[in-house]
């Protein structure tokens, strides 16, 4: 009996030990599974956060670049000559003079004075909130109709009556920027200086302050990098935006999603190494998703039978101009596409300017920096001001680094025209014989894209009486 009892006791002990081991294994599996669920949740929500937060991070990158060049809030960053490749903003225009006031209304309304246009000078542009929704356009097609005006940007929730004589722009964010272009008649030093001088008649100051206190910070030929970082840095910039700006009702759905990532208003963002790795991987996937949507948005083409298009869907374009007034549309995916490759939105696209993009040649093959191409711009372009065509790095959507020239435009008197008034523009690593004045260099190590701009487009453009043909590959 004693032996039986001892045996049963031993058996029970073994069973208990086995049960404990099984239970321990189960707990370990459950813990592992729970950890994986958390990681997958962070990953999924991080991908969506990149898509949602693209315009905010785009803004923060520009503001950071301005600060790196010595500019403070409510000052004007400007380029004293047309930008070169050191300006690494997204798809900038190298055929104008840029002035970018970055406003901050945290301490009260800010005044931006725009000078009147004249026979030789015009400033065009837009006021954008930090989300890059347009408040108003500036210039002949804008609210001032080219007559100049005092614009008053007011902060969220501002209730006081504005003084007379201002165009009041209530901003839904405390911060934002104004993209201004002072256009020149030609690329002569005299005309460029004249455009700069006219641009520096812009004034930025607090309401009730001194207009002559405006500070201008020249960023020409200096590093100004606002390309999008597709790694954990993206979320650091997104956190900065969340901390400084109010939640908009339409975006409150993101509050809990961002908390999952460690981004919460009023609290520090301190992801550990493992979380940073997950965030970086998610940012890369979001980049791939946005890139596929970008490539897919070129259909339908703007001109039938070509590949020129505006690769932003109508619901996004309409939403940006109406502050997303349609309760059944947000255009979120299209917004991510737009701000991964450009910055700012116009209040009315097509009124003061229009943009067409192309990433392939006539046969549908990607534009390759090793090959040589020709674009024939037909004569009599339906514009009040000028057209230009610019080459950008397909990977970054910024100017190709270390290239001697990024674009050509109709306001460049060195560009040669054909006998019929058309203009042949060449793109490639080497200028075709006798065509250097009409050539834009490309990097043979990468792909590129083209952006065709029309400033002051006429109705004939909208009616498509005039048509821009496709790019033709003339040398493999």
Round to whole Å and give the CA distance between 392 and 311: 15
Domain assignment present for residue 22? The answer is no
CA angle 67–69–75, rounded 5-degree value:
60
Please provide residue 7's backbone torsions phi and psi, each rounded to the nearest 5 degrees.
-65, -45
User: Are 205 and 123 in a shared domain?
Assistant: yes
Q: Where are the beta strands (DSSP E) in 329-461?
A: 353-358, 372-377, 383-393, 407-409, 423-428, 439-441, 448-457
Round to whole Å and give the CA distance between 127 and 136: 5
Residue labelled with tokens 């949602």:
52
pLDDT for position 350: 78
Given a contact cutoff of 8 angstroms between Cβ atoms, the answer to whether 413 and 186 are in contact is: yes
User: Are 220 and 299 in a shared domain?
Assistant: no
Domain assignment present for residue 400? The answer is yes
Q: Which helix (H) or strand (E) holds 134?
A: strand 134-138
User: Are 205 and 326 in a shared domain?
Assistant: no
* Separation in Å, CA 37 to CA 31, 110, 283, 403: 10, 47, 19, 47
User: Are 128 and 208 in a shared domain?
Assistant: yes
Domain assignment present for residue 6? The answer is no
Structural domain count of the chain: 2
Round to whole Å and give the CA distance between 140 and 116: 9
What sections of 133-253 are H helices per DSSP?
189-199, 233-244
Give the β-pairing of 110-114 and 87-88. Answer: unpaired
Residue 101's nearest CA partner among 143, 162, 153, 164 is 153
Q: What is the CA radius of gyration of the chain?
A: 27
Strand order in the sheet with 407-409: 353-358, 448-457, 383-393, 407-409
Distance of CA 283 to the CA centre of its chain: 16
User: Are 310 and 439 in a shared domain?
Assistant: yes
pLDDT for position 14: 39
Domain of residue 319, residue span = 295-475
User: Are 324 and 467 in a shared domain?
Assistant: yes
User: Are 215 and 314 in a shared domain?
Assistant: no
Domain assignment present for residue 19? The answer is no
Neighbouring residues of 65: CB distance < 8 A, sequence distance ≥ 6: 89, 223, 224, 225, 226
Given a contact cutoff of 8 angstroms between Cβ atoms, the answer to whether 376 and 122 are in contact is: no
Domain assignment present for residue 315? The answer is yes
Two structure tokens written together for 431: 């200028």
CA angle 292–352–346, rounded 5-degree value:
45
User: Are 205 and 335 in a shared domain?
Assistant: no
pLDDT for position 34: 82
Given a contact cutoff of 8 angstroms between Cβ atoms, the answer to whether 49 and 56 are in contact is: no
How many other CB atoms are there within 10 angstroms of residue 362's CB atom? Answer: 15
Q: What is the CATH number of the domain that holds 364?
A: 2.60.120.600
Picking from 225, 251, 272, the residue at the C-terminal end of a domain is 225
Round to whole Å and give the CA distance between 274 and 267: 20
Give the β-pairing of 216-218 and 75-78. Answer: parallel
Q: What is the CATH number of the domain that holds 89?
A: 2.60.40.1610
Given a contact cutoff of 8 angstroms between Cβ atoms, the answer to whether 99 and 76 are in contact is: yes
Picking from 194, 225, 256, the residue at the C-terminal end of a domain is 225
Domain assignment present for residue 55? The answer is no
Neighbouring residues of 420: CB distance < 8 A, sequence distance ≥ 6: 379
Give pLDDT < 50 ranges for the chain.
1-21
Round to whole Å and give the CA distance between 172 and 175: 9
| pLDDT > 70 in the chain, percent | 93
Domain assignment present for residue 373? The answer is yes
Picking from 172, 207, 225, the residue at the C-terminal end of a domain is 225
pTM: 0.91
Neighbouring residues of 456: CB distance < 8 A, sequence distance ≥ 6: 140, 141, 352, 353, 383, 384, 385
User: Are 89 and 218 in a shared domain?
Assistant: yes
pLDDT for position 352: 85
User: Are 219 and 312 in a shared domain?
Assistant: no
User: Are 334 and 445 in a shared domain?
Assistant: yes
Domain assignment present for residue 307? The answer is yes
User: Are 310 and 423 in a shared domain?
Assistant: yes
């Amino acid at each position: 009996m004693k032996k039986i009892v001892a045996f049963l006791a031993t058996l029970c002990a073994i069973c208990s030990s086995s049960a404990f081991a099984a239970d321990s294994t189960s707990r370990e599996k459950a813990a592992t599974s729970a950890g994986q669920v958390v990681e997958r949740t962070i990953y999924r929500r991080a991908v969506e956060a990149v898509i949602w937060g693209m315009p905010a991070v785009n803004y923060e990158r520009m503001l950071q670049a301005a600060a790196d060049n010595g500019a403070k809030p409510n000052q004007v960053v400007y380029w004293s000559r047309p930008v070169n490749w050191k300006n690494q903003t997204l798809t900038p225009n190298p055929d104008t003079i840029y002035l970018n006031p970055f406003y901050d209304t945290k301490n009260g309304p800010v005044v931006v004075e725009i000078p009147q246009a004249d026979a030789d000078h015009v400033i065009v542009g837009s006021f954008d909130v930090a989300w890059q929704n347009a408040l108003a356009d500036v210039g002949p097609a804008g609210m001032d109709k080219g007559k100049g005006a005092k614009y008053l940007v007011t902060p969220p929730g501002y209730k006081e009556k504005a003084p007379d004589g201002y165009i009041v722009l209530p901003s839904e964010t405390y911060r934002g920027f104004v993209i201004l272009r002072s256009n020149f008649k030609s690329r002569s030093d005299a005309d460029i200086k004249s455009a700069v001088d006219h641009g520096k008649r812009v004034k930025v100051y607090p309401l009730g302050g001194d207009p002559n206190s405006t500070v201008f910070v020249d960023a020409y030929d200096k590093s100004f990098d606002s390309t999008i970082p597709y790694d954990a840095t993206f979320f650091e910039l997104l956190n900065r935006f969340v901390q400084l700006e109010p939640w908009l009702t339409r975006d409150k759905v993101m509050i809990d999603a961002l908390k999952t990532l460690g981004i919460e208003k009023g609290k520090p963002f301190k992801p550990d190494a493992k979380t940073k790795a997950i965030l970086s991987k998610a940012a890369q996937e979001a980049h791939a998703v946005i890139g596929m949507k970008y490539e897919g948005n070129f259909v339908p083409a703007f001109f039938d039978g070509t590949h020129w298009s505006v690769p932003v869907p109508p619901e996004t374009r309409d939403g940006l101009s109406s502050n997303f007034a349609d309760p059944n549309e947000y255009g979120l995916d299209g917004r991510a596409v737009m701000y991964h490759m450009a910055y700012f939105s116009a209040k009315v696209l097509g009124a003061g300017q229009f943009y067409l993009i192309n990433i392939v040649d006539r046969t549908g093959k990607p534009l390759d920096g090793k090959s040589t191409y020709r674009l024939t711009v037909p004569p009599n372009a339906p514009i009040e001001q000028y057209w230009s065509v610019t080459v950008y790095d397909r990977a970054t959507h910024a100017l190709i680094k270390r290239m001697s020239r990024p674009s050509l435009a109709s306001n460049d008197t060195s560009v040669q025209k054909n006998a019929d008034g058309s203009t042949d523009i060449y793109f490639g690593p080497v200028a075709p014989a006798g065509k250097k004045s009409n050539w834009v260099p490309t990097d043979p190590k990468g792909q590129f894209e083209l952006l065709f701009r029309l400033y002051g487009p006429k109705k004939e453009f909208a009616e498509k009486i005039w048509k821009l043909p496709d790019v033709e590959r003339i040398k493999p």
